[in-house]
Amino acid sequence: MRYGILSDVHSNLEALRSVVSALAIERIDEYLFLGDLVGYGADPHACIVAMRLLRPRVTIAGNHDWGVLDLLGIDYFNEGAASAITWTRSQLNSEERDYLRSFPVVHENPAMTLVHGSLNKPMRFNYIHDIDEAYLCMQIAKTAISFLGHTHVPGIYSLYNGIVTVPKEKKVILEPGRKYLVNAGSVGQPRDGDPRASYVIYDDVKSTVEIKRVFYDITTAQEKIIKAGLPRRLSSRLGEGR
Ligand code: ZN
């Protein structure tokens, strides 16, 4: 099975379309989405439509999805994020809100675990920024491989004999006996200094996981944010990948 794994779309339709097009030629069997479909960007409605068309096997809830649903208070978010959440609330109808509400916080099957932030208190949406937090999360995981997003920084952590390592390669061959934690990065608002949309391909036959990047029409996404009256910083940061 080949999985196309997306996270943190954040209402960026241009980025989502580019990732979907890139994955269309990758012989993907199943799509997985790791949360934050909305928030920050100007196309919440169109991104919900596009995600539904993709028919992911699993869609996980992110903190911004919960913010829009008022399952997470607005004071949880910084100023820019909060104003985008308030704006997004005004854009969605009740049927679209029901769709977001259907997303689970954690998905676990015999092959993998999916969560937005961390398996350590998943409803608090903790961030995994370093090997200590990655270790804690992998200790909790019952499966050999877990996928998450939330930091908008793609990366792979590997655990063996109590020691966490961070392979530098973008494509990693998974070794038996190890545990892995894979951050898919962000489709719609990358923060690792590379403004291209991020996504992951996991092949469980070849036992490979690969972080991939694709260019998208950043200028159009930025113009839409300005036109919607959202904070200008949410537009400029897309160009910086920060
Ligand atoms: Zn996010």
Residues 18-56: tens digit of each pLDDT: 999 999 999 999 999 999 999 999 999 999 999 999 999
The pLDDT score that the predictor gives to residue 50 is 98
Exposed/middle/buried for 100, CB within 10 Å: 0-12, 13-18, 19+?
Answer: buried
3-state secondary structure of 212: strand
Q: Are 197 and 18 in contact (CB under 8 A)?
A: yes
Mean pLDDT computed over every residue of the chain: 97
**Rg of the Cα atoms in the chain:** 17
Q: Are 195 and 18 in contact (CB under 8 A)?
A: no
Tell how far the Cα of 161 is from the centroid of ligand 1, in angstroms: 31
The pLDDT score that the predictor gives to residue 92 is 97
Residue with the two structure tokens 């580019």: 18
Tell how far the Cα of 177 is from the centroid of ligand 1, in angstroms: 31
Tell how far the Cα of 32 is from the centroid of ligand 1, in angstroms: 15
Q: Are 149 and 125 in contact (CB under 8 A)?
A: no
Which residue type is seen at 6? L
> What is the per-residue pLDDT across 80-132, written as a single tens digit (0 to 9) for each?
999 999 999 999 999 999 999 999 999 999 999 999 999 999 999 999 999 99
Tell how far the Cα of 96 is from the centroid of ligand 1, in angstroms: 19
> What is the per-residue pLDDT across 119-152, written as a single tens digit (0 to 9) for each?
999 999 999 999 999 999 999 999 999 999 999 9
Tell how far the Cα of 232 is from the centroid of ligand 1, in angstroms: 18
Tell how far the Cα of 10 is from the centroid of ligand 1, in angstroms: 7
- Rounded to an integer, what distance in angstroms lies between the CA atom of residue 198 and that of residue 179? 22
